[in-house]
Amino acid sequence: MKQYVVTRPLYSEDAFADEHEKIHRHHKTVRHHVKQYFTCDLKRAKNAALSLLPFIGWMRIYQLKEWLLSDIVSGVSTGLVAVLQGLAYSLLASLPPWYGLFTAFFPVIIYFFLGTSRHISVGAFPVLSLMVGAVVTRLVPDEGPPVNITGFEGLTSDEQRVMVAASVTFLMGIMQLAMGLLQVGFIVMYLSDTLVSGFTTAAAVHILVSQLKFVLGLVVPGLSGPLSIVYTLEKIFVQIEKTNVCDLVTSILIMVVVFIVKEINDRYKAKLPVPIPIEVIMTVIACGVSYAFNFQEIYKVDVVGRIPVGYESPMAPNMQIFGQTAVEAFPMAIVGFAVAFSVAKVYSVKHDYIIDGNQELIAFGASNIIGAAFKSFAASTALSRSAVQESTGGKTQIAGLLSALIVMVVTLAIGFLLEPLPKSVLGAVVIVNLKGMLMQIREVPYLWRRDRPDCLVWLGTCLASILLGLDLGLAVGLGMELLTVVFRAQFPRCSVLANITGTDIYKDRKDYMTIYEPEGVKIFRIPSPIFFANIDFFRGKLVEAVGFNPLRVLRKRNKALRTIRKLLKKGELQMTSKGLLLTSFGPIEESEDESNMEDLDQPTDFKDLPVQVNWNSELPANIQVPRVDVHSLILDFSAVSFLDISALKGLKAALKELIRVEVEVYIVACDAYILEKLHSCKFFDDEVKSSMFFLTLHDAMLHILEKHPVNSENTKVCEKVITTATIHGNQCNGVSSLRSRDKFVHVSEPETKF
């Protein structure tokens, strides 16, 4: 076994600071930071341009011969999938299908210039589409009149829905752009993987239910709000006997074939040059069959219908809709960015390049703003589409640009070929692509075994999102996640440490068999920051660790001193060679003078007494004071990252209470920032001194054993530890007490060192 030996002095924080001079670091002022932020030179202008237009960076290193062909193949494959998913996800947004083609074009063009990821495919994302659909159906329901909004006059129902979708997307884009400009991309860090997993699983359930009406060929109005999924299922099952058999058979056939081929793609992806575009193939076949057998007329199948040629003129957002949809737009902005950033981060790590969260917010904000002006709805990225772009060899966003060109060709020239496509086919394709999100439910047993608070966050987010809707569900999930963080910090697992025999290592005394605990010494560890919410918990656990309440002991001692002084004054208590002796044998009444309770909390004062009172010995007049068997307490602050003002006050009060009952307190492994804050906040005084701080736990223990040598039957002994630090004068021959769990065994040693 490898060993190491260290020889060094025993250090307190003060001793270390005296011996090792620190470098004085000049901290910049706020004024300096502001001045630096607004200072501009050529280098900074160049960096700003590269940061704002990231495509310049990778275009300068573009390897034409090696990358262009891969980008072309990837762009064509991704474009075909984007066309199909654009049409399908428009149904989720409760919009006419061709608006999905706009979403697969305009945001992609903008992201090409502003985005930092080279591999994600921008466009419609099913969860966002569903959230847009909830807003659309709330303001323009399938049944009943729309909400009274200026600007709806003279518009058809579809046009009103497009206005709502474009306006909420525009507002979402403004929020993303503002967050990017304010450099708050870190906000996505508050959405943990567990929360996102539960949220997207619930979204997959919503999407599945929303597509059942297309698969079954039923007419079911779109609903939104709490319990909308329950009401939708009710409406579906009430008219289940009206199911269109042709739609159902077509959907089942599409789902089975697509599922099987996608499994083949996953299993043999290493051998296939490109994944088989089975969704596109089945869509083409379904279009042909539907046209040939006239599904719309003969079987009453609902088809995509007329797809207008070309793009529509830009449209200004409706400000009144902003006020109606602000609450929904913010979670959409967060979810859209969080999902896109997560996917982008995966590919950036895989292909070794850097992405910028703040620039991604700017890119998606601008994409959604400009896209909404041209009547597209909320854009992010879909994992399946991005996987196609990356797995088919895409190297840069040139592939994304080419996919947008494919979408443009469909929009301008060949969109009419998709008019006979049954909507049930689009619904089936959407459902098959939900497999990945639905299978996330397999994480629940693992989370339950490994981390139950995380499991509760997953279940709470998922159930709330299913029952209350995606916007409220996300808020509930975020609240639960923050509560778990608060509870973990507020109620940490504190522990009492002990020395692992023969080492300078200290571990939880409950976890190891052979440990050493010097008599009268306690080591307490709190593995959390100490702040206003957990300072009382910390003090309670500290009292539990030392085995007595120092404030109660102090008050008892001061009340005992009052009684002793009173007896001495009356002559009922006299000083003898054996100490204080009671001369009166009548009943002694304990002092009940509570006129000044604050005096009971002050340090014990022996100045007018003829003798120092030994509180652990038998006191005269049957005076009872709780016994204190601890003479030294070590607080391990190695895991304490910060203290707030409330914690400083509470900690100082706790330390003073212990010091006043003659318990020496030592704080070890304290962060330099915390020490600096203690000095700046005037933490130290005549009672609480900076000399109580030591570099390491072992330094403090050696200091204690030097100050309080262990005695056993008048024989001076000390414990053996593997260390070269030797306290001169504590080397001895004798017997040392070694604790093995709760049993004490005596071990003879010729020479011991500590």
Residue 620 pLDDT > 80: no
Residue 744 pLDDT > 70: no
* Backbone φ and ψ of 276, nearest 5°: -70, 120
pLDDT number for residue 256: 95
Tell me whether residue 513 is in a domain.
Answer: yes
Tell me whether residue 320 is in a domain.
Answer: yes
Nearest CA among 461, 585, 414 for reference residue 200:
461
Structure tokens at 77: 């494959």
The enclosing domain of 513 has a CATH number of 3.30.750.24
Residue 279 pLDDT > 80: yes
pLDDT number for residue 142: 85
CB 379 within 8 A of CB 371: yes
pLDDT number for residue 428: 93
CB 718 within 8 A of CB 732: yes
* Backbone φ and ψ of 244, nearest 5°: -85, 110
**Distance of alpha carbon 223 from the chain centroid:** 32
pLDDT number for residue 704: 94
Residue 689 pLDDT > 70: yes
What digits encode the pLDDT tens for the residues 91-145?
999 999 999 999 999 999 999 999 999 999 999 999 999 999 999 999 999 888 8
Residue 1 pLDDT > 90: no
Residues 539 and 433 in one domain: no
Q: Where are the alpha helices (DSSP H) in 596-746?
A: 645-660, 672-680, 697-707
Residue 733 pLDDT > 80: no
- Mean pLDDT, residues 578-598 taken together: 54
Structure tokens at 97: 């299908």
Asked which of 389-403, 475-489, 551-565 is least confident by mean pLDDT, the reply is 551-565
What digits encode the pLDDT tens for the residues 155-191?
999 999 999 999 999 999 999 999 999 888 777 778 8
- Reported as a pLDDT band with limits 50, 70 and 90, residue 575 is low
- Better-predicted residue by pLDDT, 450 or 720: 450
Tell me whether residue 745 is in a domain.
Answer: no
Residues 428 and 511 in one domain: no
Nearest CA among 121, 122, 115 for reference residue 59:
115
pLDDT number for residue 577: 56
CB 136 within 8 A of CB 149: no
What secondary structure letter does DSSP report for 622? G
- Reported as a pLDDT band with limits 50, 70 and 90, residue 749 is very low
Tell me whether residue 11 is in a domain.
Answer: no
pLDDT number for residue 623: 80
pLDDT number for residue 244: 94
Asked which of 68-82, 194-208, 378-392, 566-580 is least confident by mean pLDDT, the reply is 566-580
- Reported as a pLDDT band with limits 50, 70 and 90, residue 598 is low
Complete DSSP assignment for 522-589: EEEE--S-B-TTTHHHHHHHHHHHHTS-HHHHHHHHHHHHHHHHHHHHHTSEEEETTEEEE---SPPP
Residue 560 pLDDT > 70: yes
Tell me which of 406, 440, 474 is where a domain ends. Answer: 440
- Better-predicted residue by pLDDT, 748 or 31: 31
- Reported as a pLDDT band with limits 50, 70 and 90, residue 669 is very high
- Mean pLDDT, residues 283-287 taken together: 93
Residues 374 and 262 in one domain: yes
What digits encode the pLDDT tens for the residues 289-328?
999 999 999 999 999 988 899 999 999 999 999 999 999 9
- Better-predicted residue by pLDDT, 407 or 433: 407
Whole-number mean pLDDT of the chain? 86
CB 405 within 8 A of CB 109: no
pLDDT number for residue 107: 96
Tell me which of 395, 414, 440 is where a domain ends. Answer: 440
Tell me whether residue 34 is in a domain.
Answer: no
Alpha-carbon span 664 to 655, nearest angstrom: 9
pLDDT cut 90: percent of the chain above it: 58
What secondary structure letter does DSSP report for 662? T
Residues 426 and 512 in one domain: no
pLDDT number for residue 269: 81
Residues 557 and 632 in one domain: yes
Residues 237 and 92 in one domain: yes
Tell me which of 440, 470, 505 is where a domain ends. Answer: 440
Residues 224 and 290 in one domain: yes
Complete DSSP assignment for 167-180: HHHHHHHHHHHHHH
Complete DSSP assignment for 38-80: H---HHHHHHHHHHH-THHHHHHT--HHHHHHHHHHHHHHHHH
CB 506 within 8 A of CB 500: yes
- The tally of domains found in the chain comes to 2
Residues 504 and 425 in one domain: no
* Backbone φ and ψ of 95, nearest 5°: -120, 160
pLDDT number for residue 568: 77
Structure tokens at 406: 């494919």
Share of the chain residues as helix, strand and coil, in percent rounded to the nearest 5: 55, 10, 35
Tell me whether residue 55 is in a domain.
Answer: no
User: What would you report as the CA-atom Rg of the chain, rounded to the nearest whole angstrom?
Assistant: 37
CB 661 within 8 A of CB 550: yes
Q: Which domain holds residue 208?
A: 67-440
- Mean pLDDT, residues 503-511 taken together: 92
Nearest CA among 4, 288, 324, 266 for reference residue 138:
324
Residues 509 and 361 in one domain: no
Alpha-carbon span 443 to 580, nearest angstrom: 71
Alpha-carbon span 560 to 558, nearest angstrom: 5
- Reported as a pLDDT band with limits 50, 70 and 90, residue 287 is very high
- Reported as a pLDDT band with limits 50, 70 and 90, residue 23 is confident
Kindly tell me the burial class for residue 122, based on how many C-beta atoms sit within 10 Å of its own C-beta (0-12, 13-18, 19 or more): buried
What digits encode the pLDDT tens for the residues 581-590?
556 554 445 5
- Better-predicted residue by pLDDT, 456 or 582: 456
What's the pTM value of the predicted model, to 2 decimals?
0.80
Residue 257 pLDDT > 90: yes
* Backbone φ and ψ of 751, nearest 5°: -150, 135
- Mean pLDDT, residues 533-562 taken together: 90
Cα–Cα distances (Å) from 323 to 171, 326, 378, in that order, read 10, 6, 18
Nearest CA among 405, 422, 83 for reference residue 285:
422
Residue 271 pLDDT > 50: yes
Residue 607 pLDDT > 80: no
Residue 736 pLDDT > 80: no
- Mean pLDDT, residues 615-639 taken together: 86
Tell me whether residue 752 is in a domain.
Answer: no
**Distance of alpha carbon 626 from the chain centroid:** 46
Alpha-carbon span 738 to 703, nearest angstrom: 20
pLDDT number for residue 483: 92
Alpha-carbon span 47 to 355, nearest angstrom: 15
- Better-predicted residue by pLDDT, 502 or 617: 502
Tell me whether residue 284 is in a domain.
Answer: yes
Complete DSSP assignment for 227-287: THHHHHHHHHHHTGGG--HHHHHHHHHHHHHHHHHHHHHHHTTTT-SS---HHHHHHHHHH
